[in-house]
Structure 1
């Protein structure tokens, strides 16, 4: 469990992929590829672009692109609104790509979990492992 401030928690996952940053960048920023490993979406790689991620479970995440440095950094909001305020989530997901001699180290950080959101925090810790496993499969299929 990572603590980003006295108020919020952060999920961090690092994984090295045997692929160049350009290949990972495509999978992180092309909507048809994002759909394969993450969720249905209307993503566009432009700062300020508002988009949705739509989960198979019926939920919708409201997102906005915050930062883009091609083949290096992608950051966007990851917000979920629920009728029960306790389940509302306001977070930021940041992907950082670092070239290595074997390929690319991908660091994913989701910050903004309140201390009373232990279920969402644990769900994210588990969920990102699965998403990144699917990302590996998508990358294997890309030329």
Structure 2
């Protein structure tokens, strides 16, 4: 860890033109999560342990759910990091906030992940948004 103990965080703010209940399902149901990000046995239950398949580079990443507020907030450990998803109703859609925290830039793997995921999350959430296009929008 860095000497001054400063960890970095990636924050993403994405509008999704679907209600929070629909977005929540895509974050918490394994078959829906796999369509836009990664396969794994996620469940919105505090203490639930699961893995996400992140391909050859990262393999099966261990995760543990740490916080659940249905349709509003989901947080889980993700390897050395924490992912926190916050959903806020906005009009007929959802403002989705992602906080990917705990990057120690003195650690080579953390620095690599931080550089790639800083822009990578925008691409990933774009896949979510396309997957959840409003009915009649396809």
- What range is the shorter-chain TM-score in? 0.7 to 0.9
Distance 1:110 1:140, change over 3 A: same
Aligned partners of 2:56, 2:135: CA distance in 1, in Å? 27
Distance 1:118 1:101, change over 3 A: same
Q: Which stretches in structure 2 are left out of the alignment for 5+ residues? A: none
Tell me which residue corresponds to 1:98. 88
Moved over 4 A (4+): none
| Shift of residue 141, structure 1, vs aligned partner | 7.3
Farther-moved stretch of structure 1 (22-31 vs 113-122): 113-122
- Correspondence 1:39-54 to 2 at 5 A: 39-54=38-53
TM-score by length of 1: 0.83
Distance 1:6 1:51, change over 3 A: same
CA deviation string 1:40-95 (max 9, x = no partner): 1011111100000002335111000000100100000000xxxxxxxxxx110000
Which of 110, 117, 122 is matched with 1:124 structurally?
A: 117
Aligned partners of 1:137, 1:10: CA distance in 2, in Å? 25
Superposition CA RMSD, Å: 1.9
Q: Which stretches in structure 1 are left out of the alignment for 5+ residues? A: 80-89
TM-score by length of 2: 0.86
Residues 75, 82 of structure 2: 8 Å contact kept: yes
